[in-house]
Amino acid sequence: MKETATAEERIKDAAQKVFLEKGFDGTTTRDIAKEAGVNSALMNYYFRSKEKLFCSVFSDMCQLFFQGMQDILTKPLELKEKIAEIIDHDFKMFKNHPDLSLFILNEIHRNPERVMEAIPIAKHIVHGIFEEQLRDAITHKQVRNVDVKSIFLMIIANTQFIFQCKAMHMHMWQVSEEEYYEFAEKHKKLICDMIISYLFI
């Protein structure tokens, strides 16, 4: 039983690595089997098809990202603190999984229905405690009258791009990966200050 679980986990871990690097269309079952150190027959035994394995991996990755965000949004924190923590969460996720942003984006274009099926939690992120806090702050003229969706778009657009184009920026600026991440940390603070300064009156 232990060997069965280990083989299945190895396949799933390998699939995550290869799917993130190559996407669904660029990945073959042979690629995953080779990365996992198993034969294709064993992989098909556990997951039946590349499509089913991809759905499992995609759901896990999206859940990891959105659950972390949901946990922050439901914390008893002030609005400024929540925005700062969400930005920090996004940066950590994309630093640890640099291909995650493009991975999700490609799948949104390829199969948007499956994305929403895989991440039902995403539907509840925009509407909830955070939105109530924002409306209350708007009522008390503490923040600009900005739609909650716009705030999330500002955060997502500013945090994802720096990781989506990491290779290009490293080449353009002639910096090492370590130097690039040092810059990213400074940029993270700039994004946080910029959004909070704009939002709060």
pTM: 0.82
22-50 pLDDT, tens digit each: 888 899 999 999 999 999 888 888 888 89
Burial 66-82 (b: 16+ CB within 10 A, else e): bebbbebbeeebebeeb
pLDDT of residue 1: 39
Residue percentage of the chain with pLDDT more than 90: 48
From the list 194, 69, 80, the residue with the least C-alpha distance to 133 is 80
Q: What residue type is assigned to position 71 of the chain? A: D
**Domain chopping of the chain, boundaries:** 1-48, 58-199
Q: Which of the four pLDDT bands, split at 50, 70 and 90, describes residue 2?
A: very low
Are the C-beta atoms of residues 33 and 78 closer than 8 Å to each other? no
CA distances (Å), 131 to each of 86, 120, 150, 183, in order? 14, 18, 11, 31
CATH of 1-48, one of 3.20.20.100, 1.10.10.60, 1.20.910.10, 2.160.10.10: 1.10.10.60
Cα 79 off chain centre by: 21
Instruction: Name the strand (E) or helix (H) holding 1.
Output: none
Written as six digits, the tokens of 132 are 């109530």
Hey, what CATH topology would domain 58-199 get?
A: Tetracycline Repressor; domain 2 (1.10.357)
* Cα 63 to Cα 168: distance, rounded to the nearest angstrom: 29
Q: How many CB atoms lie within 10 A of CB 140?
A: 8
